[in-house]
């Protein structure tokens, strides 16, 4: 039973445009969500997070939106840059905790020059 779902295996956008990566979850106990970025042959790196008490968190070009009623979150990257091309993982935790995370399968983002 997949509790964190990233239904788009891949996404391709043009440089300068907006990239929107989506994530759905089924476990209503999740109250903390993170996005990680992963380049080939490297480990994931933390990008941005959001607590369930918020519906938006912004950090530079990256914004995460949380819709608790729909159990849906999205990552917006504006403007997209070729260096953003990577696999993006959505992850969720319970009880405000950062450990015992549940990860989605990832979405491969390709930003074309």
Partner 1 sequence: NAGVTQTPKFRVLKTGQSMTLLCAQDMNHEYMYWYRQDPGMGLRLIHYSVGEGTTAKGEVPDGYNVSRLKKQNFLLGLESAAPSQTSVYFCASSYAGGMNQPQHFGDGTRLSIL
Nearer Cβ to partner 1 (43/83) = 43
| Least spacing, CB of residue 30 vs partner 1, in Å | 13
Q: Are 33 and 64 in contact (CB under 8 A)?
A: yes
Say whether residue 12 binds partner 1 (CB under 8 A). no
Sign of CA dihedral 12, 18, 19, 20: negative
Nearer to partner 1, 12 or 39 (CB): 39
> At 48, phi and psi to the nearest 5?
-160, 155
3-state secondary structure of 55: coil
* Site for partner 1, rule CB under 8 A: 4, 6, 9, 32, 34, 36, 41-46, 49, 51, 89, 91, 96-106
């Amino acid at each position: 039973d997949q509790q964190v779902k990233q239904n788009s295996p891949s996404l391709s956008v043009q440089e300068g445009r907006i990239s929107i990566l989506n994530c759905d979850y089924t476990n209503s106990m999740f109250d903390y969500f993170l996005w990680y970025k992963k380049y080939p042959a490297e480990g994931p790196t933390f990008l941005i997070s959001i607590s369930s008490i918020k519906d938006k968190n912004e950090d530079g070009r990256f914004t995460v939106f949380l819709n608790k009623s729909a159990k849906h979150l999205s990552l917006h990257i504006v403007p997209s840059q070729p260096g953003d091309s990577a696999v993006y993982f959505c992850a969720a935790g319970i009880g405000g905790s950062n450990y015992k995370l549940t990860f989605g399968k990832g979405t491969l983002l390709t930003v074309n020059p």
